[in-house]
Amino acid sequence: MSKDLVVILTALNLEYQAVRRRMTSPQVHRHERGTRFEVGTVQGTSCRVALALTNKGNHSAAVIAERAIQEFSPVAVLFVGVAGALWETARLGDVVMATHVYAYHGGTSEDDGLKARPRVWEAPHAISQLGSHLARVNNWADETGGHGRPPQVRFGAIAAGEIVQNSKISAEAQWIRQHYNDALAIEMEAAGVAQAGHLNGAPVAIIRGISDRADGTKSSAKDRSWQPRAAANAAAFATRLAAELVEEQMQVSRSTAEKARSADRLEEHVNNTARNSTVGIMAGSVKDSNVYLNTDPKVTSPNDLIAELDGFRLHLMRHHAEGALDDDTCREALADLDSARRATRENTPESSKRAAMTLRRLRGLIADCPALVAKLAPLVVAAGGTA
């Protein structure tokens, strides 16, 4: 995962420009399939943003969102732009951050009418909590510049469909009122982005500035007045949220690194003590100058060693999840572990040598993680190698 980068997607060019104005030194990044991103830094922060235009609709938004996730492995994906308000709760210029997203066009047509088949995606808890905090602090908005009261952040459901909604009395308006009457705003991309995030394990936040009422009063003249203001407000809140997300990720990484360093210092202290002193250990073992506390595996058969290798895989994956192993190292280490497992299963003198050689190579790969090296050393011995 890129610990300092957030993807921001927009559907309209004016929304794109509102975000881009808050970036410094944007550089073009082209996906191999032609999608164009601009990667820059949020002004005054260390947060990098990869910005792209999806165009209208849930389908195109989903494709570009998945492409962005695969390309950048971001901290989060934010979809930013304008939307229509469904209730008076959100006023023009306010920002709505989705607590959950409805795909409101799902249904089944039967003889007695159209029956709703709702699909919904909840916003990730951590992003919702951070958004609520920023709203309480309330220092994210620009000066109103004569536009009246400052914008407020509202939290609630957002309905995403495939049409521009601009009526109070249409069948679609009645459908939403009947089945999704807690939705604060309506738009055309959030469901696609939410689904892409769900399938790829990426946190997603939907942030919309209210530019119209979706009630028949929408017009080109009003759009020219309110869309830029609503887009600017959404961009202001979204870039602040992005910067805070990256800062939190950095804090987590620093904390994890400090814990790893503390564990390494403790292990080094124990090893040094073992080299220079006589150590009494309950239910433990000493091999050369390394001390293993209650971890020396009882390996009496190939099946025992396979079980220990499977257990070591879990430790390997945990260190990767905590950031102690990078993606490439983890991938190669898992490949070596699988190779050693297969060789052990063959249970011949030649395969035992292969298993030991592979585990020694694995030990070199993970040399920067002493805790893992300590766990692997007795398995190398058990496989027929030397510690």
* pLDDT tens sequence across 36-74: 999 999 999 999 999 999 999 999 999 999 999 999 999
pLDDT of residue 283: 41
The answer to whether the CB of 40 falls within 8 A of the CB of 49 is: yes
Greatest CA span in the chain, whole angstroms? 86
The answer to whether the CB of 337 falls within 8 A of the CB of 316 is: yes
Q: Select the more confidently predicted residue: 273 or 90.
A: 90
Record: fold of 5-251: Rossmann fold (3.40.50)
DSSP string, 228-297: HHHHHHHHHHHHHHHHHHHHHHHHHHHHHHHHHHHHHHHHHHHHHHHHHS----SS-EEETTEEESS---
Question: Would you state the structure tokens that stand for residue 12, as one six-digit string?
Answer: 């309209």
- Length of the chain equals 387
Q: What is the pTM of this model?
A: 0.68
pLDDT of residue 122: 96
Model confidence pLDDT, tens digit, residues 204-246: 999 999 999 988 888 888 888 899 999 999 999 999 999 999 9
pLDDT of residue 285: 42
Residue type, 165: Q
Domains in the chain: boundaries: 5-251, 280-383
Model confidence pLDDT, tens digit, residues 336-358: 888 888 888 888 888 888 888 88
The answer to whether the CB of 302 falls within 8 A of the CB of 382 is: no
